[in-house]
Chain A
Amino acid sequence: MNKISAEEIQKIATMSALSLSDDSAATLGSELNDILGYVQQLEAVDTDGVEPTYQLTGLSNVTRPDELVDYKVSNEALLQNAPSLKDNQIVVPKVL
């Protein structure tokens, strides 16, 4: 069975945009290894020729008429939760 190393945990944390202290990486690492050890049981199931199921309703490409619908939601209401606003725009830290 694969064991996730501390280094790998930090790599997944970076992919997840999370910072972990060495201590919590160690704890989470051992918990993750327990969980992955448990789910490893699926290896023993013979799934040859079986297709995966990603969704249950069988719906695809649900569309509606291409018409403007007024959801009665104001710009103010949509922006009110942004931590930082300027001239009705969301302020983000420098990207470049």
Chain B
Amino acid sequence: MTIRDIQNTISGGSTVRSVIESAIERAKQDTHNALISVVEDRALQRADEIDASIASGDKLGRLAGVPFVAKDNILTFGSPTTAASSLLETFEAPYQATVIEKLEHEGAICIGKANLDAFAHGGSTENSYFGPTTNAVDETKVAGGSSGGSAVVVATDIVPFSLGTDTGGSIRQPASFNGVVGLKPTYGTVSRYGAVSMASSTDVIGPIATTVEDISLVYEIISGVDERDGTTIAVDEKNTVRDVMKMTIGFINELQSDGVDPEVQLKMDRAKEICRRNGHEIVMVDMPMLTHALAVYYIVVPAELSSNLARYDGIKYGTQIKSDNLVETYKNSRSAGFMDENKRRILIGNYVLSSGYFDAYYKKAQTVRTMLIAEYAKAFESCDVLLGPVTPTPAFSIGEKTADPLSMYLADTMTVGESLAGLSSLSVPAGVTASGLPIGLQISAPMKRDFDTLAFAKQWEIYND
């Protein structure tokens, strides 16, 4: 389902109310546990408002009457924002995120909140207080994560687009596992006002949809400098590549390793061949620091999130487990409200930031990060975009990695580099395995060059068709 499909239904005479009622009905019948809540009253009220605007001939927004779902770590009105945790199970947002306000300004209607790993910590949506989301194609497989619900609601045609968040692959990996398109925008180009913070130096909100065209439209709407988020920057407005039909495409030698599933590798070889056949130049680039990206990531991100999650004390908001003294109330509330993976990451973060370990872990990691960023810059001197796998394997089985946190982390190995460097990076379908599981192709471009990423992705859709 595309945004255009919805718009055609409305221009064909259907009311927005009926479009939204159908979307709500599909959301209620979801069998993948992709949604934590469905928004009915507010969604229908907004539908009626847009129907009234249509009746009186008002100028309509670019997404008038289009239903969408937001990941449940983005503040919205109409239902709680839980971050898939018991701690925030009943949290009612006092204001909406800038991205939601921007989408509503264009007439889009939020009909539900998508499941995720609690506080977006995870790569499978199995760490949700509300239970795992299952893969859209095979219910014995994970949806991926942490934006698993956001990918599945699009893959199962509940809504044409959704919002996710990506800190180290959390949009791209579930998009890849469910056969849809997901954009991790350049760091800073989308306001995070009203998003539940995880790692401040890599967190970014981005769209998931079935086509690159829809991704582009939503990204155009949600991006831009926001005075409510002091970390926002402007994106380059148009693609900067001189000729999208003759781009230079980089493949990274370090990602052609034995660790890549043969079926995934086959699709990457095919992608390379297709690009060559269509007149693009292929270059191979060396990025030795990329082999350390995951180690850097699992120091930097826990460090940042341990600080961000310090705010959850059970006092100002959130589930409180009361004791007769303040510190015990903090401890009880946090211990009950966080999932094991949250605790694991908070502990690592506070360990690597603690006196005596700061230089050896945190500062060392941020220094290797500088070298990684320099390697990307060098790679982009010889190519317009980088292509490669999103994940080393297709979607894994539910329960397969939950007992071994390190093995779960290793599944992020191909997406964390772009996050640490703040790049524009997108996952687009590149085929399926023999058993039908989707495989994604990752397309990355330098910071602020999201429209380069999107321009190539659009070409890729044509080649891959």
Contact = CB atoms under 8 A, between A and B. Distances in A.
Nearest to B95: A73
Contact of B320 (A15, A32, A84): A84
B331 A52 contact: no
B329 A50 contact: no
A26 interface: no
Nearest to A84: B320
A87 interface: no
B295 interface: yes
Interface in B320-335: 320, 322-332, 334-335
A54 B405 CA distance: 26
A68 interface: no
Interface residues of A, number: 52
Dominant SS among interface residues on chain B: helix
Nearest to B96: A73
B347 A28 contact: yes
Contacts of A74: 94
Given A50-B370, A52-B370, A94-B326, A82 B315 contact: yes
B203 to A, nearest CB: 11
Contacts of A13: 347
B191 to A, nearest CB: 13
A45 B360 CA distance: 12
Interface residues of B, number: 71
Interface string A10-25: 0011011111100010
A81 B92 contact: yes
A6 interface: no
A93 B343 contact: no
Nearest to A45: B368
B351 A32 contact: yes
B367 A52 contact: yes
Given A18-B338, A42-B368, A93 B322 contact: yes
28 contacts: A12-B354, A13-B347, A17-B334, A18-B335, A18-B338, A18-B343, A19-B332, A28-B343, A28-B347, A35-B406, A38-B409, A39-B298, A39-B299, A40-B295, A42-B299, A45-B368, A51-B370, A56-B422, A57-B422, A62-B230, A81-B92, A81-B94, A82-B317, A83-B315, A90-B315, A93-B328, A95-B325, A95-B326
> Ordered nearest first, which 7 A-B pairs have the shortest CB separation?
A81-B317, A52-B366, A83-B320, A62-B230, A77-B94, A56-B422, A39-B295
Given A18-B334, A32-B351, A35-B406, 10 more contacts: A12-B347, A12-B350, A17-B327, A17-B331, A19-B331, A35-B405, A42-B365, A55-B231, A94-B324, A95-B326
